[in-house]
Structure 1
């Protein structure tokens, strides 16, 4: 029944939410037009405003704006360094929380999805600083420039609002009064805004003014903007230069004899720029009286797509790349130029030739360095909306006209800022934002403004709007299909779980677009997730890239682990990740997925990548006494490298020298002859290995003379199998039973269960079968770890069923199985001796249903005294290696402390294995142990148990026990890259099957 109007209650409305200025779709107001960053290098003066500013943090956005008034008293405020992120400032005890906490999410938005609104709880930072406009600036204009502010900010000078801006990783300029004297700059920054919906970029959320702030003087004829066009014709060897400028002026390049007006073209012979030969010419742009001069760095190069290939200066290029976030463990995204340069030196020194700026334009100084050092750059827009995937892409900005202006604004500011960087060879519209018409709007604008570079956007799988086919994390098989031009039509292509056994190409959604895609080049904008131990499978990917011209390489995800230093109450520090700061939702250590650790030490993954992508192929024929040298550069000859050889026997270098190699052009090969070495019989029975290296013949910007670029190893022709232990020797030591012990040669066993308790004077305990290893990140996220745990591999029980002496051998039969399962591994240990060593033969027979089970390792583990401290071994090293990450391991003799054999992954996990070990010696202050393989084994030595490692979540959770735990493994599974991408290839899976393996133990 309806209520009569006369008795309806009266309503007193106390609050209605009206969107704040930070909750609208308008990207900017009151700002100057975007322009090239290189325009800032002119002769007109500038004043840095970096330094300590007055700062106040409020928990909400609706704080009064009275702080912007010049007379406002901010004497009680704190001071905060600019640039920086306020959440990274710690108190005197080194603890976070002074201004809130960092938070990490990969995909999820840390606030409800309600476009364009954000929560009331919105940390808001207010800044104030005084500045002086010099008297000499009174004749022109003054511009205030911000290089990067997250995520929304408004600016006042002397209490007058100048405008607002979004686009956190892009510059913003405001014109300010040119009146000489003191002025007050006030800035309000909201952590959350409508713009936050565009910036879901798999990283820490770090609000604040995090890039440089400067005051710029602009004379009457100041260079407003300029555009350098410098193409190269590889058929004539000539470059064409034209510089557009506002206002007009003249361009000179003395080395090339160029003196032309802006807007005029000239063609002259030049040396082209490439990532391998980064030739830059010094020029000068001059706008005359009342103007300014501007130095130019000019590189001539042309990028085209032809024959389904990206070609630079007429040649197909192979991207050996890495994705790069801006990150410093102490400063967040406020990365110094020195750190940027250090990163580039590391990249070049590890054979990386390309960088994808994920997923926003970097600090412009980084691109200056890429021009100088030589890196191919994919410059990417400040745009990712991955969190909408969890809402089935409803209201996704990519296809929402309300966001068109904001997305175009970000694209325009990137292109205008970076258009004069010769290293930028591809524009990328953004990342993981789904598909929609706004992608087309951005691509169309770029083509009108700059048609000299192709356009990339990975989610445009149809190539409706872009030029490059780029589907991330595809399996090796899928990439090979693309290389052959046999990939499925869409939508089948997106089904990465499809196997080659069930593969049936479907019907194309649009035949014309399908044909366009098949005519287009392909690269993996992301692949090989470098998270923790890994990534595996790099060499197999690289073989595909090198085999098919259409597959032009890829960009490993990613460069650096984003670990933040956090301090325990006892003063110890560790690197923290998602969840360590009390986040409501987080994605754990998925932010630690780099080729370098947070402190920028190279990980084993980076060393593996360096080897896989090395630009010189070295292979030998010991019988013929020759070495084949293949130049894998795209442009450079090998004239900058020096070659050397060495011959080692049993890991000991016997002789070495230089190798004469002719200059080899890019893409060509040559043969060099090895010296003839005659060894005495005492050495010739050992295992001989030739090693040939290619090193820098002289110092470069990134490394000194002698830096190793590439290497190859192959067996010497006199190699004969070394007789290890007692493999082929008669058994001469008979077992002796005395009371409760059994003695065989140097070994002592308990008679009750056959356990080895001593080897000579060395105490030994708990030798047992081991098939479990602590899962790697790639196994925890998407790999086999959950299945391994469900199978009980991490909680096996060992039972001795029987033991006996037969044919001078001690046999111990055991059953190894997990609670709640009937499957088991029947394991028989057979011990024998020649009087000096103790031979262990292990026979494993799976019982029960193991058909759908893989295992991570197969071997034995034993406990030794903590007095043992060092391991010397002959095998792969010096770093860790696993079956699909072993290319970087050099066969030789290596020596490390046990503590130094641990790889300090941010999240503790399986690490430190050394593969292809022929022999190893574990030594310390007392008795030691020598282990010999038959023929080889994988070695791991630790001061904590596998269970300890499994429970640890940070490095500080690991505490040394009073034992050394030595693993001697027959085999390991590969590590793959399943946290994003495929798991181990089939040949690297380890399946239970009847297996035998042997090692020989000798006391030292």
Structure 2
């Protein structure tokens, strides 16, 4: 029933969420000729309305321009806004970031479905357009691909319709209102509506027309809806093709269709014709032997469908890509084409740091190529349907998808982490059934033909209840070829039937194992795990190690892919990445939007180094005689790769080779290799194996490395303790102890209690003296465990210490000065740092810590000092190339790499500990001419090291990068141990015990300082 009189009451009427909106249908493309269809040309029956629209902003409905839609209303004085785009990203109002709470919490006392009358921004849009010649005399429709969160539409002064649901298309028939010549399209967008109660996702609260808008027409006989199901037989060999066509007009019984199914090379493998009856036609065909679709081998066929009228004239040509695959629950396992699948996934928001959720094709191409390059095989569309192009790319590139409907009511049942569903929606309140189900229908009908979509999701974090269970049943009834996901039943097992798999968020590895050992009825996935906020993703290996230990563990989806940070300018006009609160948005959840593997400006973070390695489908285990290749792929062998291997001595390549490999899926093979004979040599050797693409793929160039493995061995005992020949000269004064030799001088201060000067060839290396360090700048995860509260005494101990003794020991060729320190944290805690100066100017630094019981664990045990910022170059022989930590080092490799010091810290959204390297054998800190210090450690006892322009304390007290001081120093921190970074979650999960540093132990470490360069 059509309605012609709009009402603002609809905005908070749960029963009204669509008025005159067309039913959802498939997103297929159609053309006037098959040649254009096959060429995937722009659709000439579409006309884009993207671009500049006239615009007026109002903070609420009462202050809006009410009659703007009328034909004679003059909008010439209005400003302009870009469509697609968010209102708040273009200068009106401000973006607001909140996570679980509703954005009006504490501002107004609202309960669903109420909305604010005072705080509800309105965007009034006007677009004047000429009706294209190709649409004259034809039916004309309009499609809004995404409008947040509710809108009214008028054409030429006539009310057309109303819609809610920000993330699926809203389409209307304009035919009764369209004119030849100029037309006035008017759209009134409200930020808040009933739908806002269902869109409480962890993201920026924005509004506006943020996806494409276009007009379209259709031929006289038009396939309005297309359903393609490309299944496999029980042997997963023969293709079974079902295609259902539904015409716009069900009386078009004189039409017929011709179907050609073509393979990837364009060869037709079957042809069939059929006649429509009551506007419908179905094909049910055997396709013979086919190449199944999978993320490993995303083979797509093309269904070419030609529609003919009663005169046998072609009136419409459709090309729909499809992939033959079967996804099913089999023996309590999720199986693709008969094989147990493991999701190596990530959650992904649509986001761009300059345009918000109005993302481009270029953004999506960058994203999908990054996923493939990082061995990520699955995406959950958190927490709403994405643009159609994303699913097409997942089909083509090979990425498994959990397609999630636009539903999250987090703030209605969880308050400050506590489950409190006293007024949660939708729950069992059946007045919400239609509006919720509408969102499910809109998603399924548009997305149903994409082979990449394996699972439908009933939304995110909306507790449980009959309404959502009914949605799950709808999915199963409508599309039995996919499974259904919903995590919220974890909180109410009365509705356990909602989800086909056990899905949990941020469960610890031990909790997952407990479930898997309980003879469960359902397989397990973590729909969210490894909260990647700031410096995180420590302990990821504890999850991936479950993949081969428990068949019913079928992977998970890291939270999340990209930081949601927005470009803003500081007071000095410099751009920075801003987070919640930076726009005076209150309430807010501040920097909690910064939890991506990729930074908001689409720079890959160091966390991805670990993900890429642990998500490898192919494992490489090199030895001195062979490389074991373990192919954990389900369907493809390794012949698309080349195996490269290299032998390094102390970081320098001394041999290499290349091999063709053909290891079948789900098998392993030993590949013999030939390397130079190093018998009789001394030092550390490293064998590295890599699999690289033989030929270019759509996501990477030839030679791109997809997997690597490494092993090390040391020949002959370490010579670190051999004493250099020569003599040193020692001068013990009342305050200072001087040690000199050829080309160097060292001064130790009894008064300061440290090494205060080190000169090589007359140049000073020490700007501020070395001191014991127990504190690191807290990471987001550290803040989540309130480390500043529980372990803050170590912060104080790092700033204030008491040197209780200075001991000098002399030998002919060396001198040792040792300083003993005490700390207020406990009278039992002691640190001794002993400096042994040798005749060649090298200094052995030995640190011994003796702890005490009852103290909080140590964040770090290190020696830290400052050099001049002129020493701004670094060269490493360590684990790298990106930062790594004790619990995030699987993806690092031992090797040589170099960086400028200011490039070593990682630009996390909030400044924090970053830039660490483990396994440090050697690091040179030099000026641009190569002169400076070399820090060395025994390969049997490597250290950790951090070089930064900033101290831990400067980082600790900065909330944004622009708050950090100007650079004056290079801060050198050499650690015997640093705790891991953790990542099970960011609101209380501790670093795993084996990566912590108990305070009640004795710890010793040592390193050597030497001159670098001349």
Structure 2 length normalisation: TM-score? 0.90
* Deviations, residues 643-699 of structure 1 (Å, cap 9, x unaligned): 0111110100011121343x1111110001121412485xx2121101111000000
Q: Select the residue among 124, 133, 140 that pairs with 2:122.
A: 124
Measured after TM superposition, the shift of residue 778 of structure 1 is 1.4
What number of residue pairs does the alignment pair up? 937
Q: Select the residue among 572, 584, 587 that pairs with 2:586.
A: 584
The equivalent of 1:614 in structure 2 is 616
1:976 partnered with 2:986:
no
Measured after TM superposition, the shift of residue 561 of structure 1 is 0.6
The equivalent of 2:776 in structure 1 is 773
SS of the residue 1:524 aligns to: strand
Q: Select the residue among 426, 451, 462 that pairs with 1:398.
A: 426
Q: Select the residue among 296, 299, 311 that pairs with 2:335.
A: 311
The equivalent of 2:704 in structure 1 is 707
The equivalent of 2:253 in structure 1 is none
Per the alignment, do residues 22 and 546 of structure 1 end up closer, same or farther by CA in structure 2, a change over 3 Å counting?
same
C-alpha separation between the residues in 2 aligned to 1:378 and 1:1003?
Answer: 56
1:294 partnered with 2:331:
no
C-alpha separation between the residues in 2 aligned to 1:983 and 1:528?
Answer: 12
1:256 partnered with 2:256:
no
C-alpha separation between the residues in 2 aligned to 1:420 and 1:673?
Answer: 46
Measured after TM superposition, the shift of residue 167 of structure 1 is 0.4
1:957 partnered with 2:963:
yes
The equivalent of 1:425 in structure 2 is 454
Counting only pairs closer than 5 Å after superposition, residues 879-894 of structure 1 correspond to structure 2 as 879-894=882-897
The equivalent of 2:26 in structure 1 is 36
Measured after TM superposition, the shift of residue 981 of structure 1 is 7.5
Q: Select the residue among 997, 1001, 1010 that pairs with 1:990.
A: 997
* Deviations, residues 158-206 of structure 1 (Å, cap 9, x unaligned): 1111111000011011001254332211100011111100001100011
Q: Select the residue among 843, 846, 858 that pairs with 1:841.
A: 846
The equivalent of 2:947 in structure 1 is 941
Measured after TM superposition, the shift of residue 738 of structure 1 is 4.0
Tell whether the 8 Å contact from 2:772 to 2:798 is kept in structure 1 after alignment.
Answer: no
* Deviations, residues 95-115 of structure 1 (Å, cap 9, x unaligned): xxx311000000111114321
Quote the RMSD (CA, aligned, Å). Answer: 2.1
* Deviations, residues 17-69 of structure 1 (Å, cap 9, x unaligned): x9722111121111111001125677661111111111000111133531111
Tell whether the 8 Å contact from 1:56 to 1:77 is kept in structure 2 after alignment.
Answer: yes
Tell whether the 8 Å contact from 1:783 to 1:979 is kept in structure 2 after alignment.
Answer: no
SS of the residue 1:523 aligns to: strand
The equivalent of 2:265 in structure 1 is none
Tell whether the 8 Å contact from 2:351 to 2:562 is kept in structure 1 after alignment.
Answer: yes
Per the alignment, do residues 937 and 161 of structure 1 end up closer, same or farther by CA in structure 2, a change over 3 Å counting?
same
Measured after TM superposition, the shift of residue 783 of structure 1 is 5.7
Per the alignment, do residues 546 and 981 of structure 1 end up closer, same or farther by CA in structure 2, a change over 3 Å counting?
farther
Measured after TM superposition, the shift of residue 787 of structure 1 is 1.4
The equivalent of 2:932 in structure 1 is 928
Counting only pairs closer than 5 Å after superposition, residues 667-686 of structure 1 correspond to structure 2 as 667-679=666-678, 681=680, 684-686=681-683
Per the alignment, do residues 964 and 71 of structure 1 end up closer, same or farther by CA in structure 2, a change over 3 Å counting?
same
SS of the residue 1:441 aligns to: helix
Tell whether the 8 Å contact from 2:413 to 2:423 is kept in structure 1 after alignment.
Answer: no
Tell whether the 8 Å contact from 2:774 to 2:794 is kept in structure 1 after alignment.
Answer: no
Counting only pairs closer than 5 Å after superposition, residues 556-635 of structure 1 correspond to structure 2 as 556-622=558-624, 625-635=625-635
Measured after TM superposition, the shift of residue 342 of structure 1 is 1.0
Tell whether the 8 Å contact from 2:384 to 2:404 is kept in structure 1 after alignment.
Answer: yes
The equivalent of 2:71 in structure 1 is 70
**More moved, 955-964 vs 408-417:** 955-964
C-alpha separation between the residues in 1 aligned to 2:150 and 2:876?
Answer: 57
C-alpha separation between the residues in 2 aligned to 1:42 and 1:780?
Answer: 60
Per the alignment, do residues 824 and 413 of structure 1 end up closer, same or farther by CA in structure 2, a change over 3 Å counting?
farther
Counting only pairs closer than 5 Å after superposition, residues 442-461 of structure 1 correspond to structure 2 as 442-461=471-490
Q: Select the residue among 1, 5, 10 that pairs with 1:21.
A: 10
C-alpha separation between the residues in 2 aligned to 1:857 and 1:442?
Answer: 50
Per the alignment, do residues 763 and 338 of structure 1 end up closer, same or farther by CA in structure 2, a change over 3 Å counting?
closer
**More moved, 706-715 vs 133-142:** 133-142
Per the alignment, do residues 80 and 781 of structure 1 end up closer, same or farther by CA in structure 2, a change over 3 Å counting?
same
SS of the residue 1:218 aligns to: coil
Q: Select the residue among 286, 290, 294 that pairs with 1:270.
A: 290
1:469 partnered with 2:496:
no
C-alpha separation between the residues in 1 aligned to 2:769 and 2:467?
Answer: 64
**More moved, 644-653 vs 104-113:** 104-113
The equivalent of 1:501 in structure 2 is none
Counting only pairs closer than 5 Å after superposition, residues 331-350 of structure 1 correspond to structure 2 as 331-350=355-374
C-alpha separation between the residues in 2 aligned to 1:676 and 1:249?
Answer: 63
C-alpha separation between the residues in 2 aligned to 1:226 and 1:783?
Answer: 54
C-alpha separation between the residues in 2 aligned to 1:738 and 1:796?
Answer: 27
C-alpha separation between the residues in 2 aligned to 1:311 and 1:847?
Answer: 53
C-alpha separation between the residues in 2 aligned to 1:19 and 1:571?
Answer: 41
* Deviations, residues 504-563 of structure 1 (Å, cap 9, x unaligned): xxxxxxxxxxxxxx2211110100011111211111210112321101111000010111
Q: Select the residue among 899, 906, 909 that pairs with 2:909.
A: 906
C-alpha separation between the residues in 2 aligned to 1:672 and 1:783?
Answer: 50
1:101 partnered with 2:94:
yes
Per the alignment, do residues 824 and 863 of structure 1 end up closer, same or farther by CA in structure 2, a change over 3 Å counting?
farther
**More moved, 861-870 vs 808-817:** 808-817
The equivalent of 1:5 in structure 2 is none
The equivalent of 1:755 in structure 2 is 754
SS of the residue 2:942 aligns to: strand
**More moved, 349-358 vs 247-256:** 247-256
C-alpha separation between the residues in 2 aligned to 1:42 and 1:87?
Answer: 40
**More moved, 250-259 vs 858-867:** 250-259
The equivalent of 1:285 in structure 2 is 305
C-alpha separation between the residues in 1 aligned to 2:754 and 2:988?
Answer: 43
* Deviations, residues 320-342 of structure 1 (Å, cap 9, x unaligned): 11100000111111111121011
* Deviations, residues 105-138 of structure 1 (Å, cap 9, x unaligned): 0011111432111222211000011123234434
1:737 partnered with 2:732:
yes
Measured after TM superposition, the shift of residue 790 of structure 1 is 5.8
Measured after TM superposition, the shift of residue 395 of structure 1 is 3.1
SS of the residue 2:548 aligns to: helix
C-alpha separation between the residues in 2 aligned to 1:214 and 1:794?
Answer: 64
Measured after TM superposition, the shift of residue 575 of structure 1 is 0.2
The equivalent of 1:383 in structure 2 is 407
The equivalent of 1:552 in structure 2 is 554
C-alpha separation between the residues in 1 aligned to 2:423 and 2:801?
Answer: 57
Tell whether the 8 Å contact from 2:149 to 2:190 is kept in structure 1 after alignment.
Answer: yes
Q: Select the residue among 918, 921, 925 that pairs with 1:918.
A: 921
Structure 1 length normalisation: TM-score? 0.90
Per the alignment, do residues 260 and 807 of structure 1 end up closer, same or farther by CA in structure 2, a change over 3 Å counting?
farther
The equivalent of 1:3 in structure 2 is none
Per the alignment, do residues 215 and 721 of structure 1 end up closer, same or farther by CA in structure 2, a change over 3 Å counting?
farther
SS of the residue 1:66 aligns to: coil
